[in-house]
């Protein structure tokens, strides 16, 4: 199984932005 850390980072960043907008 090989996954790029960029994907995880993007997901984390997206989640963070979502929380900020929701807040």
Per-residue pLDDT averaged across 1-23, rounded? Answer: 69
Q: Is the pLDDT of residue 19 over 60?
A: yes
Share of the chain above pLDDT 70, in %: 48
pLDDT, residue 16, reads: 79
CA 20 – CA 23 distance, rounded (Å): 5
pLDDT digits (tens, 9 = 90+) for 1-10: 445 666 666 6
pLDDT, residue 6, reads: 62
- Token pair in block for residue 18: 């979502």
pTM exceeding the 0.75 threshold for the entire prediction: no
CA 19 – CA 4 distance, rounded (Å): 24
pLDDT, residue 14, reads: 78
């Amino acid at each position: 199984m090989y996954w790029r850390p960029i994907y995880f980072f993007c997901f984390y960043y997206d989640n963070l932005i979502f929380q900020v907008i929701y807040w």
